[in-house]
Structure 1
Amino acid sequence: MSSAKPHSTFNNPTQFIEGWYWALSSRELKVGRVKAVTLLGRNLAIYRGFSGQVVAIDAYCPHMGAHLAEGKVDGDGIRCFFHNWKYDSKGICVDIPSLVKPLPVCIKTWQTEEKYGMIWVWVGEEKPSSLPFVPELEEVECDYILGTRFVKNCHPNVLLINAIDAHHFNTVHNLPLEIVFNSQELKSNAIAFSNTTRGGDDSWLIRLIRPLYENEVTYSMCYWYGSTGTVTLGPDFLHFYIMFALRMIEGGKTEGQTILVTRKRSGCLGWGINRGLLWLTQQVGNYFAKGDTQVFQTIQFDLKTPTKADRSIIEFIQHVNRQKALTWGNWEAVNYSEDNDRHSSSTSLMLDYDK
C-alpha cells in the first residue's frame, strides 16, 4: 500500500489527526510572556497571563495583521504591539485606545492544558478528548523529566511504528525471541499494542531475566492521535515509562520531545528514588534508540510487501486512517470523497500478508 495516497491520512504530509499536540515546554513560558509558535502549519501566539493561565490564540491581529507575539501580556489578555488593541483570554477585543467602545472583533483561541511539563494545544473544533497518558498510570499522580528534543526526516506516523515493528527487534536489536503483539483500541483515538511473547528459552539472556517475569516479558505501546506514543517495559516489580510526543513539521518531517515518567513517590526519599528511576529510564530509552534512529533520516516508507510480522503496523495504519483528519495549515476537516478507496486499500493490504 502506498502510504502517500491523497486519501490516506497515514504518512500524509498535508493532513493530520484532530487531537492534542505539544507546543512548548512549560518552563519556556514564564508569567507575562508570549511566544510565537508554528504548530502543524498554523501560526499561533501562546502566552501565560498574570493568573498563570496559558492561552493559545491565532497569531495575527485582524486590524492590520501584526503578529501578536510582538505584543505584551496585559492581565490575562494580550495587547497588539502595533496599535495596542487588547484581546481577552477568549480572543474577544475588549479595548481599542482610540475608541470609546471596542469593535465587535474576535480572534480564534484554542484550548490548552499543561501536563508532563509540556503545554498542549487541542487542534480541532470537536470537544477535546483525553490528553495522552500511560494506561497503567491513568489514575496515578506522576513525576517526570523532559528528555531529548529531536527532529527526524520522516513523518511522525512512520517514526512511531518503530516501537511495534516486531521483526526489527531481532534484526536490529538482536533480541533472541519472536515478538507477537495483541492490539486493543482503548478509545477511538487511542490504540495499545501489548507483547504476548513467552519464548526465547534457548537464550541465556532470556533464561537469566525469566525469574523477573511471572508471565510474558512486559512491553506495551499506546498511541494517541497517531502522533504521541507511550512505552511501558520492564520486570514485573518495576516498569519504566517513556512518552514520545511528536508533531509534524514542514515537509512531513517530525519534531519530537521525549518525556520520562514514573509514579510519584512522597517525601525526600521518594524524590531521590524518582530521580534515579527517571535517569535509568532515560538510559533504557537511549539503548533502544541507539540502534536504528539513523534509519529515519533516510527512509522512504511505502509498505507494498507486508508479511505476517507486519500485522501490528498494518493495524496501526488502519487505526490512523479511521480517525478525523484535518488539513495542514488551516486545520479544516478533510472531506473525503474516496472513503471506499481508503477502506479497500487497507483491506487489500491485510489480505496480501495473510496469503
Structure 2
Amino acid sequence: MHSTSLHSNFNNPTQFVEGWYWALPSKELKVSKVKAVTLLGRNLAIYRGVSGEVVVVDAYCPHMGAHLAEGKVEGDGIRCFFHNWKYDSHGICVDVPSFGKPLPVCIKTWHTVEKYGMIWVWVGEEKPNLLPFVPELEQVDCDYILGTRFVKNCHPNVLLINAIDAHHFNTVHNLPLEIVFDSQTINSNAITFSNTTRGGDDSWLIRLIRPLYRKEVTYSMCYWYGSTGTVTLGPDFLHFYIIFALRSLEGGKTEGQTILVTPKRPGFWGWVLNRGLLCLTQQVGNYFAKGDTQVFQTIRFDLKTPTKADQSILQFIQHVNHQKALSWGTWHTVNYLNIQTPIGQEKNGFKI
C-alpha cells in the first residue's frame, strides 16, 4: 500500500477526510469583525455577529465575486463592500440596495462550533459528527490554554503516526521499554491506541516510577478524522492531556495548534493549580516533540518495508483510508472507492 496512492486518503495532498477542522483561535475574532481564512484549499470569510455567533461562509459574493472579508458585519449578517449586498447568518440575501429588495440568491454557510478556545468548521456534506475530544474527559468541564502553533513539512497523517511509532520511543527518546499499542475503534471516525509496556526492570528510572502506576505507564492516543490527535499520559493520580489540532496546507504540509487541557477544579486555588498544570503539560509536550522536530522537516514518508513494530501505524493507515474522502479546494466527495489492503490481509508477513 503506497502512502502516495491517488486512491488513498493517507498522506494524500489532493484529498482529506470529511470532519471537523480548526479555523482560527476564538480570541482572534472579535464581535462585528470578519477575517479571510483559507482552509483546506477553500477560501472562506469568518465573522462574529453582534450576538457573538460565529458564521462561516464561502468567501465570494455571488454578484461579482468580491471577497466578503472586505465587507462589514451588520447585526448577525454581512454586507459586501463592493455593491452592498447583505446576507444573513444563513447565507440568504436580505438586501440589495440598487434593486430595492432582496434577490433569491445565497452563499454557502458551514457548520461551526467553538471549543477549547478554537473555532472549528465542519468540512463535509453530511450532518456533523462528534467534535474531537479526549476520551477520559468526554463529560468533563475543562480548562485549557493554547500552546504552540507550528508548520511542518509533511502531511498531518504522517505527523500523527509519530505518537504511535512504538520503536522510535527507544531510538529517539531512549526509553528502556518495549512499547506495544492496542487499538480500539470508537466510531468510524475515531480510533484509540493505548500502550502496554514490557521490560525496563534494569532502568533505575522505570523502577522509580513503576509504583505510580497500577498497570502500564499510561500513554494513549485518540485520533479523529485522521487530522486531530489527543494524548493522555502521566501517573495514575495525575493525567496530562494534549490536543494536536492539525490541518493540511498546500503541497501536503501541516499547520498545527497544540491545545493543553485539564479538568476544571473549583475555587480560586483550583484556578491557580490549573494554570500551573497547564504550563507543566506544555513542558511535557515540548519534551517529546523536541527530539522529532527536524525529522518532519525532511521526511518523505513511504512505508515500503513495515516490521512488527509498525503494526499500529498500519492500523492507523487502514482506519484513515476507510473514511469519507473530500477533494482539496472543492470539498466535493471523491467519487471513486478507496483501494485498500483488506483488514486481516498480510503485508510483508504482518497482519493489518
Q: Indicate the TM-score class for this superposition, using the shorter chain for normalisation.
A: over 0.9
CA-to-aligned-CA distance 1:76-115 (integer Å, 9 cap, x gap): 0000000110000010000011122211001000000000
Matching residue of 1:31: 31
Matching residue of 2:124: 124
Tell me how far 1:200 sits from its aligned partner.
Answer: 1.4
Counterpart amino acid of residue 343 in structure 1:
T
Matching residue of 1:297: 297
Matching residue of 1:238: 238
Matching residue of 2:6: 6
Matching residue of 1:225: 225
Matching residue of 1:325: 325
Cα RMSD over matched residues? 1.1
Matching residue of 2:135: 135
CA distance in 2, matches of 1:75, 1:186: 40
Query: How many pairs align?
Result: 351
Counterpart secondary structure, 2:139: coil
Do the aligned partners of 1:305 and 1:353 also contact (CA within 8 Å) in 2?
no
Tell me how far 1:343 sits from its aligned partner.
Answer: 3.5
Aligned pairs for 1:1-355 (under 5 A) are 1-337=1-337, 339=338, 341-343=339-341, 350-354=346-350
CA distance in 1, matches of 2:312, 2:17: 19
Do the aligned partners of 1:181 and 1:196 also contact (CA within 8 Å) in 2?
yes
CA distance in 2, matches of 1:98, 1:347: 64
CA-to-aligned-CA distance 1:42-81 (integer Å, 9 cap, x gap): 0000000000000000000010100000000000000000
Tell me how far 1:354 sits from its aligned partner.
Answer: 2.2
Percent identity of paired positions between Structure 1 and Structure 2: 81
Counterpart amino acid of residue 276 in structure 1:
G
Counterpart amino acid of residue 19 in structure 1:
G
CA distance in 2, matches of 1:123, 1:133: 17
Tell me how far 1:198 sits from its aligned partner.
Answer: 4.6
CA distance in 1, matches of 2:184, 2:340: 21
Counterpart amino acid of residue 256 in structure 2:
G
Residues 175/353 of structure 1: CA separation in 2 closer, same or farther (3 Å cut): farther
4+ runs deviating over 2 angstroms = 341-344
CA distance in 1, matches of 2:34, 2:347: 51
Query: Structure 1: which 5+ residue stretches go unaligned?
Result: none
Tell me how far 1:353 sits from its aligned partner.
Answer: 3.8
CA distance in 2, matches of 1:353, 1:229: 29
CA distance in 1, matches of 2:131, 2:257: 15
